[in-house]
Structure 1
């Protein structure tokens, strides 16, 4: 079992992330009135274990994956908390993947202007990224995570046994964030993520998950509200979030990040950085993300312009001078266009061919 501290002990916002097996059944929290929020596709055994441990006053089931991250679902969750009379000294517990814990955290931040929040991620993506750092929120049709709040959890429990229930494709989606942490901070993660022993039950699982979390924990401790260094955690995410938005989330976050890492590596090289595209190509070969629709640069550019790293002067990208040496910069539009074309050619070479463009791609997203 590993424990990673986020924040500084004794200061507001400090909490511990515990990584290990068989954690769900032994949970306890000091709050007496608890609301449990989980996605509809979560194995019932996990829900039952947490209910037995915490005896929640109300259990709220929400749609699976990004379908839960809407203002409409958030409104319904808040109404359920109010109907259950969850008090100011109560707590919200988010159980499930990153989307569900993002929603649960925003509900905790919003209800009664803020109640205690605990996170129980059950996916690799949730463990190494979404559950750590205090970012909560929902999506809008106009883009990813455009509404939310910084609301750190009181504790995070990562039960690695839950990963054994994931389809292999979902596990590989989550690996994109661990691989990203290797690129921006801890290069030892690169080989470990691609090692056959990095799998549910594998010899490298727990230590690799814990070390990937430690990268994010260190960054968040130094920069909670993304005023500087925390932006580096968004390496590859400017295109990734655009791909999610333009496809109405038919492309998963983890797959989109895999694609985005390679685009960011190409941009880094184009602006004079070390050529790290061999690493991102190797990851894409291993991940085998779901195919993209046939997109043009003009399809994704408006969504990249809404990226949260944008300021009054436009969009900024996280790039790499070398492994573990990230920086934030603007990229000329002609470079973005040229590298997008080269990125698409690389995907074709890797046999990640584009699907035919769906007519629905240009239709407004459902609300």
Structure 2
């Protein structure tokens, strides 16, 4: 049984990470980051460092194989820790490499983006994309440590913060009206204590769900709100169009439209979501794709069972359900209405 409860959460500055790793018993560790972080951050404290190209296209088997080769040349053994420094792409890719190299080496997640700090670094999902679809190859592999530096969020460009807010909005919809209203009442620029509280509250939603259903046999699937259509869009764009947050933002609007049809959700909630998507410059209209490009990816979604599409929809905020009565005809109708 995979032990998700053993992950330690440590808060500190990036430069103090080597000290913390030493205190935890790591005699040797190798850092993986992307080319953007390698260029913009002082990483002189990382003696052994592997760099992957920035962007979703690096989250692939070819890049994983390249990293395997580099680890082999470094003669990494099972007591060497792998440190994933970066956003969701680096965390997923490096986590997958840690899970599979030598059948598993210790993993440390150091999330530097908003989406990684509230979502992707938590819960042990690691993996890579295929041309056939997003996240189709992967594993459950909890990090030994999640190391959080709140100060790195100060350096995020606005589009990166906005993309991460898609996951924050998702967590609020899953949590309930009070959480949602706290986001509507935000006033920018955020004071540091407000920002830290926002991140902590959103993170806790994810951690509570994972604790209740670590292997996604039930309610953990609710965390995929907006993601079924989002992943299909990202795949159809060959991971070179919308970023993940943009796709999830639009995917949530589509999910709330479907929720009105299937579960009788109050239409005003779609309007309230629309206001927040516009606030964070996230898409509210579908991309320039022919709908016929999407079904192949929708049918390969990991939540599907027995050939049925499974969409996470809402009766109301705080009341999610996995629905099996959403047809491709329903999705196409929604797609055309949101053009």
How high is the TM-score relative to the length of structure 2?
0.91
Task: Name which of structure 1's ranges 231-240 and 293-302 shifts more when overlaid on structure 2.
Answer: 293-302
SS in 1 for 2:254: helix
Instruction: Report the Cα offset of residue 200 of structure 1.
Output: 6.4
Find out whether 1:163 has 2:146 as its counterpart. no
Q: Which residue of 2 aligns with 1:259?
A: 250
- After superposition, residues 120-269 of structure 1 pair within 5 angstroms as 120-197=110-187, 202-249=192-239, 250-269=241-260
Runs of 4+ in 1 over 6 A off after TM superposition: none
Instruction: Report the Cα offset of residue 202 of structure 1.
Output: 3.9
Q: Which residue of 2 aligns with 1:100?
A: 90
Q: Alpha carbons of 1:108 and 1:262: their partners in 2 closer, same or farther (altered >3 Å)?
A: same
Q: In the aligned structure 1, how far is the partner of 2:175 from the partner of 2:287?
A: 32
Q: Alpha carbons of 1:176 and 1:271: their partners in 2 closer, same or farther (altered >3 Å)?
A: same
Instruction: Report the Cα offset of residue 305 of structure 1.
Output: 1.3
Q: In the aligned structure 1, how far is the partner of 2:242 from the partner of 2:154?
A: 23
- After superposition, residues 57-96 of structure 1 pair within 5 angstroms as 58-96=48-86
8 Å CA contact 1:235, 1:264 repeated in 2: yes
SS in 2 for 1:227: coil
Instruction: Report the Cα offset of residue 87 of structure 1.
Output: 1.3
Runs of 5+ unmatched residues, structure 1: 1-7, 345-367
Instruction: Report the Cα offset of residue 126 of structure 1.
Output: 0.9
Q: In the aligned structure 1, how far is the partner of 2:42 from the partner of 2:71?
A: 18
Find out whether 1:38 has 2:33 as its counterpart. yes
Q: Which residue of 2 aligns with 1:341?
A: 336
Find out whether 1:285 has 2:278 as its counterpart. yes
Task: Name which of structure 1's ranges 237-246 and 282-291 shifts more when overlaid on structure 2.
Answer: 282-291
Q: Which residue of 2 aligns with 1:15?
A: 7
Find out whether 1:313 has 2:304 as its counterpart. no
Runs of 5+ unmatched residues, structure 2: none
Q: In the aligned structure 2, how far is the partner of 1:244 from the partner of 1:111?
A: 27
Q: Alpha carbons of 1:248 and 1:225: their partners in 2 closer, same or farther (altered >3 Å)?
A: same
Task: Name which of structure 1's ranges 213-222 and 178-187 shifts more when overlaid on structure 2.
Answer: 178-187
Q: Alpha carbons of 1:190 and 1:65: their partners in 2 closer, same or farther (altered >3 Å)?
A: farther
Instruction: Report the Cα offset of residue 100 of structure 1.
Output: 0.6
Q: Alpha carbons of 1:158 and 1:279: their partners in 2 closer, same or farther (altered >3 Å)?
A: farther
Instruction: Report the Cα offset of residue 248 of structure 1.
Output: 1.5
Instruction: Report the Cα offset of residue 84 of structure 1.
Output: 0.9
Q: In the aligned structure 1, how far is the partner of 2:75 from the partner of 2:207?
A: 34
8 Å CA contact 1:95, 1:101 repeated in 2: yes
- One of 109, 112, 121 as aligned partner of 1:119: 109
User: Deviation string for 1:107-130 (max 9, x for gaps)?
Assistant: 100111001000111110111111
Q: Alpha carbons of 1:47 and 1:314: their partners in 2 closer, same or farther (altered >3 Å)?
A: farther
Q: In the aligned structure 1, how far is the partner of 2:90 from the partner of 2:192?
A: 26
Q: In the aligned structure 2, how far is the partner of 1:134 from the partner of 1:341?
A: 36
SS in 2 for 1:153: coil
SS in 1 for 2:142: coil
8 Å CA contact 1:198, 1:205 repeated in 2: no
- In the alignment of these two chains, the number of paired residues is 329
SS in 2 for 1:180: helix
Q: In the aligned structure 1, how far is the partner of 2:262 from the partner of 2:287?
A: 28
User: Cα RMSD (Å) of the superposition?
Assistant: 2.1
SS in 2 for 1:94: strand
Q: In the aligned structure 2, how far is the partner of 1:38 from the partner of 1:198?
A: 30
